[in-house]
Structure formats: C-alpha cells, structure tokens
Amino acid sequence: MAMTMMLEDWTDQAIAIDFVDKGRWPQVKEGLPPTISALAAATHFEAKPGSLMIAPAADGAPARLFFGVEAPDAKKGDPLLAGKLATVLPEGLYRFGDGVGDPETSALAFLLAGYSFTRYRASKNEKPRLCAPQGIGRARIERIASAVAFGRDLVNTPANDMGPEALAEAALALATKHGAQSQAIVGDALLAENFPLIHAVGRASAQAPRLVEFIYGPEDGLRVTLVGKGVCYDTGGLDIKPSSAMALMKKDMGGAATTLALASMLMDGGVPVRLRVILPIVENAISSNAFRTGDIYRSRKGLTVEIGNTDAEGRLILADALAYASEDQPDLLFDFATLTGAARVALGPELPPFYTGDDTLAEEIAACGQVANDPVWRLPLWDNYDSGLEGKVSDLVSITSGGFSGSIVAALFLRRFVSDPARWAHFDAYCWNPSTKPGRPEGGEVQSARLLYDLIEARAGKAAK
C-alpha cells in the first residue's frame, strides 16, 4: 500500500547536496563560480534552515544544490530537517555532499519523509532518490523506514478496510513472514479463554472481537512482551462521540500498529529476544448487545470493573491483555495505545507521555528517545489519584469522577493489571501527524517504536554477554 522509499547504491555521478548554515554560507559563497553566486544573490538565498537553492546546468537540470541547516552548535532545530528534501527536490538521483553533520539521521529522515499512502490513489509525482551515504548502517535505516511505513499504512487505512479481521490478518501475516508461532482467539472463544473485558467491548460489532498473539525468537533470549491497543474504530459505544470526535477514529488502532512496526524491526533485525506480541482487537460499536455504562465485569485478573463510560474502552481491553502478558513474568513489558485525549491536551500530538514504575527504565527510555529523535516525555504514576479508582460495588471503576488528570488515571488503571510495574512502560500516543513536517508526513504515525528498537537491541546485547 505504501510508497516506501529505499536508498540507492552510492555513485559520485549523483547530484550533490551541500548542507550549509547561515554562519558558514558567506565563506562558501565566496568560493563559488560567479554564476552560482549571482543566482544566490538574485534568489536571496541565505542558508536559512530548510531553504534550498538549485543551481542548474546549461540544459536546465539541477547541477549543484545547497540546503540550509542549523549551525552545528545550535541548541534547537529539527533533527529530521533533511527529510524536507524528499518533498521539495525534483525527480533525480542525489547524494549528500559537504556539511552533513549526521548522515545516518539525515538519510532516515529522507526515507521517512518520502512515505506516501497509495492504497486509494496513486502518487502523482516521481520521488527523488537518495544514494546511501558511505559508512552508514544502510540495512538498519531501511529496516526502520520500512517498518514505520507498514505501521503508517495500518493507521491510514479506514475502518471499512481495516476492521478487526483485517488487522488480525496483518498481524498474523507478519508472524508467518518471520516464522513466529501464532494464534487468534475469536468471538465467544474469548469468554472460554477468560478474556471477558475484550469480549464485552467488541461484541456489538459485526466483526467479532479477537486476541492475536505471536511468539518469536530463542527461548533463552531477553523476554520482551509488546501489547498494542487494537480498536479499529471507536464510536464511543453507547456513550457515543460527537461526529467531530469520530473523524479520526480509524487511528484508534495506532497502538497495535506501533506494536507491529516495532516487532517488524526486531524480527527483521534478528535481535536475540524472546518476543511476545499480544493484540486485543475490537471495534467499539453500537448494537443491542453493546456493553453499557454501569455494567460490571470480572476481568481476566479476577478484579471486577464497573464501566464508568463506554468511550473509555481502550483501558478495558488492555487490562485483560496486560494481565495475560504478566502471567509469564517478562523481562520487559511495553504497551502502546491511543488512550486519552488528556495526553494530547497536556503534551500535544508530537510528544507522547509514558509511564513506568522504574526510574532507571524511565531514564533509559528518555535517553533513547533523544538519540533516536523519537521524542517522549515521562509523566508520573501519581499514587494520590489511585484511590479514585476504588469502586463502591466493584473492585474498580474504569474512570474517576471529576475528569482531572485523565492520562495519569488511565495509566494507574492499567498498572492494576501488571504484575511488576518496574519492568513495564505504558505509552499514551496520538499516532497521527496533523500537518506535514520534515520526516513526518500528514496522517498516520508510528511513535516510540524507533526508540524502543534501540533500547531493546541494547538490552538484548547486554543480556547475551
């Protein structure tokens, strides 16, 4: 479905792109041929970050390019700025020239920016192509870009073509591709296998709820379990959303898409982990058998939960999935979910909050996010809010009264179903770019997978020593 860009083999015949900053530009300009200096003066090119000057050859084709970037010592700036090149360059084969501070990140940004969702409309223009910079980890960059494109495709596909059946098929196809052991528990079999909350949330849909699981890798590897929220469409249930809030609900399976993108990176990269992927997959629909506010269900863990709002369904399916994930005591447990609007109010669409019970793991996540240019921000599991989840006629209520600190409360609810919060981290992501920025085209997005690929790869390397 995606138009996924890959890198080309290096050739010095490709058109060079020199990276220049405003401080260095006057010196560079002095050494240019008079015709190019005159062009710079005529176009007022000053090497501002993101600006581009194309010097043509005699036949009009691009001959030499200059791309404005931040100075090396700048304290701010977009590390994925080079991704803009994939959207502004004319068709052709290019290579990085002088001044590229981080060719690996720049090449990845170029590939991420070149993504196009083409399932329903073919791309109108030919994309520029980039030679793999010499000395970089080409295979790893292409692996990451391909996995992100896969996840973006899943999020971008509307619910009429990406319902529970299709999402489960995509997960099982990925498992089969890498020879993983897999299973799917569908419909009323969820009750027989003790996943009552997943069944309750998804039973009103024409497509039955399901849990997909696959396991990959050596039995003695670092045990990593990934759980992803797979709500293929969220009407809000009987507490129905207004139409404006439903407009992007095809992306409510973004947690599952992130999980599959990360799993793809790990399996394709041969990272020596015992990987377990668990996806609770449903559609939160409205029918005569839809679950209701005030209903009480016994969860897989045995805790009874009173439903406070049917539009807070994601935490319910994750509760059963996390309880299941915790039963074999993994070394690391990560869950991903487009869980709360409160997270977006607090941090916006670009910065997903995460929660964990371990300070060391939190520091590692934050550090990997900074290095991978995959930003996240830790929010606290504030224990003073936990008592609000205590039920009057049940063990728990699914939401607290008052409406405050919604993302924190949701994380605290999930913590109730995790056996060891020190090995667990929860990511409350948006999984959508409201507008195009370098390396981040408008539409579905995979957030936090790239940083965790780095983290898990590093942890697995240590464990193997």
Positions marked active-site = 241, 315
321, two tokens: 């999935």
Q: What is the dihedral of CA 92, 96, 98, 100, to 10 degrees?
A: 140
Please say whether the beta carbons of 429 and 338 come within 8 A: yes
CA separation for the pair 291, 275 (Å, rounded): 33
Beta-strand pair 377-378/273-284? unpaired
Burial of 33 (0-12, 13-18, 19+ CB in 10 A): exposed
176, two tokens: 């089969």
Number of alpha carbons in the 13 Å side-chain half-sphere of residue 79: 13
Cα angle, residue 437 at apex, residues 431 and 442 outer, rounded to 5°: 45
Taking only Cα atoms into account, the Rg of the chain, rounded to an integer number of angstroms, comes to: 24
CA separation for the pair 66, 20 (Å, rounded): 7
